[in-house]
Structure 1
Amino acid sequence: MPQKKSGKTYSPIFRCPGIMRAVFRLNRLAVHGRLPRNGYQMNRRRFSKKLGLGTASLVLAPSVVGCLATVPSKRFGIILNTVKDAMAHDFEATLRALKEMGYRYVEGGFYGDSLKSYAKTLKGIGLKGIGHGSSMGELKKDFARYVEIAETLEHQYIICYYPWMVGNDQIDEKRTFETVERLNGLGKRIKDRGFQFCWHPHNFEFKTLKDGRRPFDIIMDNTDPELVQLQLDTYWFKKGGGSVIEYINAYKRRIPLFHLKDMARDGSISCPGQGIMPIQKILASNAAADSMWIVEVENIPNGLTCAGEAIDFLKH
């Protein structure tokens, strides 16, 4: 509710100068293509088209840019693919906006012409890179490059988002055990370079194989916990038919990273807090205290809006 002071009414948003500056900065960039040297102009329609924000959000909706409380215990981040359109338009301004919203950590590779300059930009804004990755094939093919990115951005994790060397419709018992060997081998190489390796399952790892087992269970039972940990994606675990909270209880010590996304009633992906999943119960579950909770929504046209609404929901 707006607060009254000295007979005047103030919206809480105007008590957040940092967030206001970020919004104004993005507006200017959308209008001019860069930060103008003098003057300030706003074109809400063009800004919303450039960055995927609805016109209503530019009336400083609290759900997008409201004053956000400090996270008491959870560590929240965002994977930059969620805001890929805004990052492509102006990555530095977008990173500043995410920081003003309340994000402290980002997952993903680098933007711009130089890895070192991007690392400097992140540090200057006050964001911490947490991890990045790719498919098994890409990680094996260009291992040195992924290690270089992790070293320069001071990442803790290198992540395999797709551990298979075949299409997911060709997964069987034999290929699952081959994948176990690859995960253990890659995990060892990554650990030897000073990083933690995680793999990221989807719904197809939960299908039942001919022998009655599921690829997910085979992988978790046969990979070395010291070498291979888990990035649990709330949406894909539910899509695969599993209980997210039960898996957290079972694998607590192997889940340093979460991808937080919600499921809409039609089964599609939605922004955290806008679907049918018990996100707050998941946050209150028995997960490790130092786990990282990463907001992710793929292929969303209004990524910045979702980013703001998600962290507002998660913090309150």
Structure 2
Amino acid sequence: MPKDAEHLELDAGGRTIAISSPGKVMFPEHGETKADVARYYLAVAAPLMRTVRDRPTLLQRFPNGATGSSFFQKRIPATAPDWLETTTVSTPNGTTSRALVMADIAHVLWAANQGCLGFHPWAYRASAPDDVDELRLDLDPSPGVTFAMVREAAAEVRAFLTEVGVAAFPKTTGNRGLHLYVRVAPGSDAFAVRQAAVAVAREMERRRPDLITGAWWKEERGTRVFVDFNQNAPHKTVFGAWCIRARTGAQVSAPFAWDELEGIEPDALTIRSVPERLARLGDPWEGMDDAPQSIAPLVERYRADLAAGIPDNPWPPVYPKMPDEAPRVAPSRARTPPTD
């Protein structure tokens, strides 16, 4: 057994974090251990903290590694170290819980030591909970969609956003899709950000109905890339940038530059390759915070649709019925009006 299989202490920005059972294998394909996970996060600490610092974060824990069972942890236990920063978050039904705030890399390593293989940050900072500062466009491949189609959809979304003066930054999801992030200027709440996402989904379906859909109901999507606007609903979280997915190959949700889009291969971006890539290419998201974006052009499109009689898109089932929302029922289950 390796020496650090019994005991390991790591310096996390001036705080010592003990890693228990550091030799425990978390990813069976190549044998990466808890120690490897912790050291990976230290290697990407600077760009990781730029994206997650001060964000409440939902933890997905895999006590027995990537192939074992998992559970989501919203509540930080009372037995946690007293130096951990936490904040109160709400679920769609109003339930509150004490969530971890990603204050520094020591908080990340503490969670990694708990077997966390999924960090899901909120779209706001704990210090400014009323300002949602990220628009997150989730390009979700329906069954039968190839990654080449997802790439093409991302290019189409970028072209539209560029037209309306909005800059987006891409990352892999660590699986089959892509995420496009927009740093939103102060003053927008989650409802406005979701409206902007709805506007993007609708416009992309108008432009490329053969490739992209904004249809909430799966039965309507076909073999197309779905722009999941509801990932921006209040209290929703999205898998974090630079974070390791619970896949056997230890893939990472990795930011990349737009000029890499045609060659990016998500399965190749792993705990093993991403630190070297970061050292060689730098952080492709480094400039994201330099110019926060106005989403007003997108919100105005949504409101123009509403004024023209087009209702809001359906919300997820865990949310109460929302003002201006279309009937929340799958088309195949909707009642057909009687005929004379």
Per the normalisation by structure 2, the TM-score is 0.31
Structure number with the higher helix fraction is 1
Structure number with the higher strand fraction is 2
Per the normalisation by structure 1, the TM-score is 0.33
